[in-house]
Amino acid sequence: MSEPVIVGQLGAVYGIKGWLKVNSYTDQPDGIFDYQPWLIKEGKGWREIRVTGWKRHNKALICKLDGIDQREEAQALTGADIAVNGDAFPALPEDQFYWRDLIGCRVRNLQGYDFGLVAQLMETGSNDVLVVKANANDAFGQRERLIPFLEEQVIKSVNLEDKIIDIDWDPDF
C-alpha cells in the first residue's frame, strides 16, 4: 500500500443521522466520491471507512459514512482529513506527474545552484508555482522562493527517480 494522499476534509455535521459536510480538494469536487475506501485520520494513524451515500446540498457536498448513524458519532469526525491510497490514482504518461510527486524534489538551476526542496505547489490562475524552501546555508539569505512552473520556459527537466527539478532561473541577487 502506498502513502495516503489527502483529498479533502470532513466538515460540520449535517442533520441528526450522522451525515457530514465534505470539503473536497479534488479538481471536480464530487470526484472525491470516486475513490473508495476513504482513509480518515485518527490520531497518528488512518482508519479505513466506506461512503454509503452522498449528495449535493445547495453548493455543498454531504456524505453518509458506514457505521456512523448518529450526530454524536459524526461530530467526533469533524475536521478529520480524508485520504485515499496513492495507488488509487491512475498512472500518468511519462512526461506528466501529480503535484505530490514534486514535493521534496531538489531544485537546481542550469549553473548548478541548489535552491532547496519543493515544499508545496500553489495554483495562481495563470500558472502553478513551486514553493521552494531554501537550504540553511543559502548564500542569498532566502528562506523561500516562488518559482513559476512554466514547462520549457523555466522548468527544463523533472527527474522523479532522482527527485531533481532543473530550472532556467537565476537566484535573486
- Residue 138 pLDDT exceeds 70: no
pLDDT range class, residue 112, cuts 50, 70, 90: confident
Which pLDDT belongs to residue 17? 93
3-state secondary structure of 152: coil
pLDDT, mean of residues 140-169: 88
Grid cell of 100 as nine digits: 505530490
Give pLDDT tens digits for 70-87.
999 999 999 999 999 888
The per-residue pLDDT for 71 is: 95
Within its chain, how far is the Cα of 118 from the centroid?
A: 13
Q: Is 125 in contact with 155 (CB distance < 8 Å)?
A: no
Quick: pLDDT tens for 26-57. 888 999 999 989 999 888 889 999 999 999 98
pTM of the model: 0.67
The CATH homologous superfamily of the domain defined by 99-167: PRC-barrel domain (2.30.30.240)
Which homologous superfamily does the CATH classification assign to the domain defined by 4-88? RimM (2.40.30.60)
Q: For the chain, give every residue range classified as CATH 2.40.30.60.
A: 4-88
How many whole angstroms separate alpha carbon 130 and alpha carbon 120?
Answer: 6
Q: What is the mean pLDDT of the chain?
A: 88
Cis peptide upstream of residue 90 (ω within 30 degrees of 0): no
pLDDT band at 141 (very low <50, low <70, confident <90, very high): low
